[in-house]
Amino acid sequence: MPIVTIKMVEGRTDDQKRALVEEVTQAVIKAVDAPAENVSVIIEEMSKNHFAKGGVRYSDQ
């Protein structure tokens, strides 16, 4: 049972997250020949003040 966790900064629409889940699921099905009903996708969203890149928080950009 493949489980994929995606961590990303908040701000995407429900439609974008739905498309992401669908496409990731299809990629897992293709790569490991798993049935769709066995593929789980977890989206973990972070606020912009909880993520930094290059020493700068996204909320400070």
| Catalytic residue ranges | 2
Q: Where are the alpha helices (DSSP H) in 1-61?
A: 14-32
Which H helix or E strand runs over 52? strand 52-53
32-to-27, 38, 56 alpha-carbon distances in Å: 9, 11, 37
